[in-house]
Amino acid sequence: MQGNGSSTLNVAIIGAGPAGYYTAEALTTADECVHVDIIDRLPTPFGLIRAGVAPDHQSIKNVSRRYEATNCRSNVRFVGNLSLGRDITLAELGTLYDAVVLATGAAKDRPLGIEGEDLPGVIGSGPFVGWYNSHPDYKDLNPDLQVASVAVIGNGNVAVDVARVLAKTAEEMAGSDLASHAARPIHGSAIRDIHILGRRGPLEASFTPKELGELNILDNCVALVDPAQLPDESLDETLSGAAKKNMAILRAMAKNKPGDKPVRLHLMFYVRPMAVLGEERVCGLRLEKTRVEDGACVGTGETEVLPVGLVVPCIGYRTSPIADVPYNQRYGCFENEGGKIRDGLYCVGWAKRGPSGTIGTNKPDGSEVADRILAEIRPKGTKGRAGLEEIVAERGLHIVTFQDWKKIEAAEVAAASGPAPRQKFADVAEMVRLAES
Ligand code: NAP
């Protein structure tokens, strides 16, 4: 089926990350009469693959080739540099398309909810990871890394990513696409002690063995674990899967010595942050020792102060609310039932289920929502992309197409030095100029 005839189902997906692309793939492979526009406020596609996955985890980023293949289909179009709310409203999209899918991810940090968390020197993982990954919103973050000691709060893979990127040497990062504005301060930092703080124990941690294991093979940094915080070795036999592998790695770390390497990475369990201390900026964290009862973190009342000059909470994310879209405060995502928010409006990925799972988790998630759209929505003769183009022209907007993005990408690859795969641009105006050149 061609064009915008009455049998074309026009779908707008907001957000060009993994969830958006898997949904587009499922929709357009199932039915060629579906036309999908993947709209993103940035001029670059691939969302978290570009701005969330760690710069030294290039093999994970290879999945973008699959999204690129989706974008090469004639019934899929990337519309970059078009912002919902700023350039176009949800109501307008609702009249242009038969269905709108929110694949907007979870870009806001979950708050710690403790005194002092707004002090300079406390930087949530959203901005911090965005900064070292060249996200345009955070290119000017400029965190002060001339501090001796850092606290990274949380026991998930994001905490491990942040600690590892801070600890790796320039040589170890040579094959990465670490932002150049971040490489200089990170590799010239004064950091000597990095603390990863878990409010529960090693068995409750959500980091995965591959990521944890990478912390024990760093050139310049030794991972340290207090053996007294590990369960009795007799328990290891009863463990399986990730918990068993994590425990073996933690036991190996427990044998390391603080003097083994110049920088120390302390994995501290059973501590929860009670307050961020400091006047003008952070100078410490008050921690309460905890124990785990029936899987839950319980305070003991015993506190200690950890002197640190930088705090990076990596404690999960929340979806940014959108006007007139019901929001689930508890899970920090849109209120939905199996991906459906209301007639004609759907959500996928972290916007649907909250910030959990791997990139691959978004594939079945996207298929489920695509199946639902195909079963529930019939073409209504909407204008789809032709209508969007009219609005873009009327408003003088500078959208970026997939072909434009390929120009940006080629320039990034050309700007890379040594084994780096690309030198990412972080300035939207510069990228739009390149796209239009
Ligand atoms: P996560 O895995 O949910 O971990 C969040 C951590 O923060 C947990 O240890 C949690 O402790 C802790 N936490 C929450 N609230 C806290 C508080 N108020 N005080 C202290 N600690 C608190 O989330 P994430 O690390 O942000 O990762 C998000 C998702 O992306 C995960 O599914 C993750 O696997 C994925 N990811 C994967 C990779 C990879 O595969 N390489 C890399 C990065 C991210 P409790 O457990 O006690 O709640």
The whole-chain average pLDDT of the chain stands at 97
Q: Which residues on adjacent β-strands are paired with residue 38?
A: 13, 78
CATH superfamily of 9-107+318-436: NAD(P)-binding Rossmann-like Domain (3.40.50.720)
**Per-residue pLDDT, 2:** 38
* Phi, psi dihedral angles at 402 (to 5 degrees): -65, -35
Compute, in angstroms, the gap from residue 310 CA to the centroid of ligand 1.
19
For ligand 1, residues with CB inside 6 Å are 112, 153-159, 161, 198-200, 204, 206, 211, 272-273, 297, 314-316, 355-358
Question: In whole angstroms, what is the distance from residue 293 CA to residue 270 CA?
Answer: 12
**Per-residue pLDDT, 299:** 98
Q: What is the mean pLDDT of residues 8-17?
A: 98
Compute, in angstroms, the gap from residue 50 CA to the centroid of ligand 1.
19
Would you place residue 1 in the very low, low, confident or very high pLDDT band (cuts 50, 70, 90)? very low
Q: What is the mean pLDDT of residues 404-423?
A: 97
Q: Angle CA(88)–CA(129)–CA(328) in degrees, nearest 5? A: 55
Compute, in angstroms, the gap from residue 314 CA to the centroid of ligand 1.
7
The number of angstroms, rounded, from the C-alpha of 386 to the middle of its chain's C-alpha atoms is 32
pLDDT of residue 5 exceeding 80, the answer is no
Q: What is the mean pLDDT of residues 38-57?
A: 98
- Portion of the chain with pLDDT greater than 90, in percent: 97
Q: What is the mean pLDDT of residues 316-334?
A: 97
Q: What is the mean pLDDT of residues 271-287?
A: 98
The number of angstroms, rounded, from the C-alpha of 261 to the middle of its chain's C-alpha atoms is 30
Mapping DSSP onto H, E and C, the string for 356-407 reads CCCHHHHHHHHHHHHHHHHHHCCCCCCCCHHHHHHHHHHHCCCCECHHHHHH
Question: In whole angstroms, what is the distance from residue 227 CA to residue 371 CA?
Answer: 50
pLDDT of residue 409 exceeding 90, the answer is yes
Ligand 1, pocket-test mutation among 125, 199, 271, 331, most atoms within 8 A of CB: 199
Compute, in angstroms, the gap from residue 437 CA to the centroid of ligand 1.
41
* Phi, psi dihedral angles at 36 (to 5 degrees): -120, 130
Shortest-distance Cα residue to atom 16 of ligand 1: 315
Q: What is the mean pLDDT of residues 264-268?
A: 98
Compute, in angstroms, the gap from residue 382 CA to the centroid of ligand 1.
41
Shortest-distance Cα residue to atom 36 of ligand 1: 157
CATH superfamily of 111-315: FAD/NAD(P)-binding domain (3.50.50.60)
**Per-residue pLDDT, 3:** 43
Would you place residue 32 in the very low, low, confident or very high pLDDT band (cuts 50, 70, 90)? confident
Ligand 1, pocket-test mutation among 157, 286, 331, 356, most atoms within 8 A of CB: 157
Which secondary structure element, helix H or strand E, spans residue 388, and what is its range? helix 385-395
Compute, in angstroms, the gap from residue 315 CA to the centroid of ligand 1.
5
| C-beta of residue 160 within 8 angstroms of C-beta of residue 211 | yes
Q: In sequence order, which residues have a C-beta less than 8 Å from that of residue 163 and are 6 or more positions away? A: 152, 194, 196, 215, 265
What would the pLDDT profile of 148-193 be if each residue is shown by its tens digit? Answer: 999 999 999 999 999 999 999 999 999 999 999 999 999 999 999 9
Q: How many CB atoms lie within 10 A of CB 323?
A: 9
Residue with token string 């759209």: 373
Q: What is the mean pLDDT of residues 90-106?
A: 98
Tokens of 139: 């290119």
Burial zone of 238 (CB within 10 Å; 0-12 exposed, 13-18 middle, 19+ buried): exposed
Shortest-distance Cα residue to atom 1 of ligand 1: 156
Ligand 1, pocket-test mutation among 122, 212, 315, 358, most atoms within 8 A of CB: 315
What would the pLDDT profile of 100-150 be if each residue is shown by its tens digit? Answer: 999 999 999 999 999 999 999 999 999 999 999 999 999 999 999 999 999
pLDDT of residue 30 exceeding 90, the answer is no
Domain with CATH 3.50.50.60 in the chain: 111-315
